[in-house]
Structures are given as C-alpha cells and as structure tokens.
Structure 1
C-alpha cells in the first residue's frame, strides 16, 4: 500500500511552507520617507492533505476596514484549522493606504487599477507586481474583501465574473444575501486573476472607515461556506449568519440625485422595494424645494449613500431586480 499523497509546498518571499505547517511570512514592498521598511504580512495555513489553495485578502483599498477585521477575527478565532488544501490569508494588502486612511497609495494611484504591475513602476504598480509573482500564481481560487467607498454603504453582496463559470459557482457557495455579475475592470485584481484562469469573487459589505459587525459576520460566514464546500473544514461552528439562498440580481442601476440639496433616505438598506415607492428625497435647507426619489421597479435596495449633502447626479441608491 503506497504512502498517502501530500499537499504541495507554498513558497513566498523565498520561504517555504511545507504540508502540515502554518507560518506568518512577509513581502518587502517599499520604504517610508523616514526609511521605515513596509512589509505585507501573509499568513499561510498548509494542510498535509492535498486540496485547493484559496487566497483570502483584504485591504486592497486601505480605508476599507471591514475586510481587514474579517481576516483578523478569523485569525484570532483560529478559523483556518483546515484538514486539506491551503489558505493564504492577507489581512492588509495596501499597508500605505491603511496608515494614511486612504483608498490609494501616497502617490494617488489605486493598487486595484495597477495589476499585473511592473517591478520598476509606481508604488501601486510594484505592489501589484510582487503580489502577482509571489502569491497569485499559487492560488486556485480568490476571495477579495471590500466595502463601499465614499460613505456608500453596501449591503453584504458577492460579485462574480459572468465569463467564468467557476466564479459563478464560487459566488453561489459563498451565498451572500445578494449576488450579481460585475464587469471586469482593467488593471483590477479580479481582471488579473481572470486572465490567469484563477476564479475569484469580490465580497462587498459596509462602508469605508467604519466597522459594521453585521457585514463582518456575513463575510466570515461566506468564507467558512467556501472552506466547508471544498471539505477543507468538516463543520461550521458557530454559525455566524443563518440565511436562505442568495438573491440573484439579473440587472441593477443607480438612482441619482435629481437636484442638489440635503439627502434624506426613507428606506432601510437591504429592503425589498416596490415600483413607485418613495425611497428618499433631496430637499433644500429652506423647505421650499423637495424632490422625491421613487423605486423604478419591484426589486431590492443593496447600497445607500450616507452623504448628507449631495450634488445633482450623485449616486444615492443602488437597486436591482
């Protein structure tokens, strides 16, 4: 009787994580003007038995902190005790943005528009380059954790790539409250993963620079759903979010401010909507001019802009059906 097959090695930054090992590794990216070296911390959990390698990453935009807390909490609760395959967990990809409370790196560039990157390019491009060469080629699937930006609060949702059947399957397994296809954006992590034939989904929940415990628990539940589906864990205890099947949205659109003024929402995020229903209003400060915002069709609300003072054309509600 032959020996049982072992899982593959994971090699990052010249350091090897053998089957059965767990390690905290780092990739050196750049220095602050003070000379302080900036590293990206990477946790690797490599089980003895063979299975898929799943990348779970957060902080691609440094101000989107819910994802960072999802990974931190799962590390703290030792939720990556897998029995097969491997998990590569990256709590903060964009360290520069995180310490500057910013979506971008200090030169103003977006790391999520800089893939696959360049070894001698801008800071954002170098981060993307090292990430592709050190990590992405080793993953089989990716889960990218985000929040809404600029005070936009996303109800927990999973976005997948329509052109990739395995990305669609991964979204179904994750089973967030809402799911829909999202176009590939040039220079994005998901676009780079698609070109490398690495199925990836994006979890969006909450808003930037604000913790949302509901969004965090939904994200943790989705990740555990994926690990259990691939038999990397045997059970999920505790269950963070009891839910039925994801609501799949076939199409979606933004409802925009009809005029400048103060924005007053009249509906709770995540709610079902009915055609013609008043969802909110934009009013001037003198109560002389008020514009109602009504639902364009029967469907669901899955993002609300929490900006109180808006300009004409600003995106206020994201709805789908």
Structure 2
C-alpha cells in the first residue's frame, strides 16, 4: 500500500492526473513495462500473513510455465489475471510476467530472500543474460496447482493453527480451531480439498470470516510435502548467497 492507502497492484494502467497510486502506475507503465519483454514481479504477503515461496503465472502459457518451473520456488500456481494488476496490464502490452509471492510484510525471511535471488538468477541464466552458477542444479519438481482456496474463521476469537505453510493436508482434516479467550466454545475448521498450505495468517486474534489458511490443490499430492521440504533444504544450504561472494 502507498501513503494514500491504495494498492499499486490494483491501480494500473493509472492516470497522470489521478491519485498517487494512479500516477505511479502510469509512470511505471510508460517508463518500465513498455520497454520490457519479460518481468518478474516480487511481492510479500499482506500484513500479518505469511506466504510459502510460490510463483503465479497466467494459465495456458507454456513459456511462463517453463520459466516458473526453472525458478525453483516451492509451488507454481496458474491463476487468472486480476484487472488493474501489473500482470494484467503487462499482458496487454505483450509482456509476460512471473509473479513471486513469498514471506511476510515487514519481516525479513531468509528462505524467501534466497528463493527470490536464486530464482531471478536461474531465469537470467536460462535466457543467457548471465552465465549459470557452476553449482546450480535443478532441485526437484515444485507443487503445481490450478486452484487455491482460503479457509476462513468460523467465529471470532483466538486462532490456534495445527498446520502451517508447506504442510500437506487432506480434505476434511482439521487444520485449526478458533475459541474464546479462555478456550471456550472452540470451533474447528477443516481443509476443503487435498492440497498444500501456501499461506497462513500469523496473528492469533481473528474476526469471523477472516482468511486464515490458503490451500492449493496440487496435481501430484502423494509426495508433495517431501518435495517442498527438499526445496527448503536446498535453498537454505545454497551457496549463491554466501556473504563473501556478495561482498
């Protein structure tokens, strides 16, 4: 959000005489997007939410699907373009966009940082913009999804999650509960589909209807949690972010 409390990623194509968000969107479209052939749009989750590192792409785009798989995030999600978003306006200009969602607003998250840096370098190397890192390897196949659902709080109160981002859940499995401040009148909430948790709320105090857990329905469910763990381990052991090399 910008100082005018508007979301830049819902303000495109913008206007030179509009709000601060509209002016910035119009300037960014003219000075940046219109000069690009490919973009990588990097976001954190909203305030008080965490996102498992993931890449979102437009449906039925083979070029973006290939780049998304090479990026090396935990999940690749094909999702429709939202009107007013950077991805939507860029597509209108003939520019493909990878959208990375990772981590939590206002927080440093080493896993998300490593995933983002490595992913950008992987894409640049694939496009022959840079030389591949000598130790770079394809880690494993990320979770792939074409549908994701939010599970919402059944009541207001204190939320206690039993699962978190990166965990695989089966349809009907209890993933948490919301109770009163003394643990009274607890209400469970369950997974509506088989899938992997790609995002969750981090504050314990919730209101009825608040989005609590984001679940992506995956194409290969059986070993998805193991594959996610392998990607996490590889990223945290990766030498691409060695401090000596950066300095």
Does TM, normalized by the shorter one, top 0.5? Answer: yes
More strand by share: 1
- Which residue is 2:150 aligned to? 254
Q: Residues 229 and 291 from structure 1, CA distance in 2 versus in 1: closer, same or farther, beyond 3 angstroms?
A: same
Cα distance, 1:242 vs. partner? 7.0
Task: Decide whether the 8 Å contact of 1:164 with 1:199 is kept in 2.
Answer: no
Q: How does 1:93-242 map onto structure 2 within 5 Å?
A: 103-104=1-2, 106-162=3-59, 164-236=61-133
Cα distance, 1:163 vs. partner? 5.2
The superposition leaves residues 148-171 of structure 1 with CA deviations (integer Å, 9 ceiling, x where unpaired) of 102110000000111544333332
Distance 1:251 1:135 in 2: 31
Task: Decide whether the 8 Å contact of 2:79 with 2:146 is kept in 1.
Answer: no
- Which residue is 1:308 aligned to? 204
Alignment of 1:286 onto 2:182: yes
Distance 1:269 1:180 in 2: 15
Cα distance, 1:138 vs. partner? 1.3
Name the SS for the 1:222 alignment partner.
helix
My pick for the range that moved more, 166-175 or 133-142, is: 166-175
Name the SS for the 1:231 alignment partner.
coil
Cα distance, 1:131 vs. partner? 1.3
Q: Residues 292 and 142 from structure 1, CA distance in 2 versus in 1: closer, same or farther, beyond 3 angstroms?
A: same
Q: Which has the higher contact order (CA 8 A, sep 6+)?
A: 2
Distance 2:135 2:204 in 1: 38
From 143, 160, 170, the equivalent of 1:274 is 170
Name the SS for the 2:91 alignment partner.
helix
Aligned residues: 217
Structure possessing the higher radius of gyration over alpha carbons: 1
Q: TM-score scaled by structure 1?
A: 0.64
My pick for the range that moved more, 150-159 or 291-300, is: 291-300
- Gaps of at least 5 residues in structure 2 are 218-247
- Gaps of at least 5 residues in structure 1 are 1-102
- How well do the aligned residues superpose, as a CA RMSD in angstroms? 1.8
Cα distance, 1:278 vs. partner? 2.1
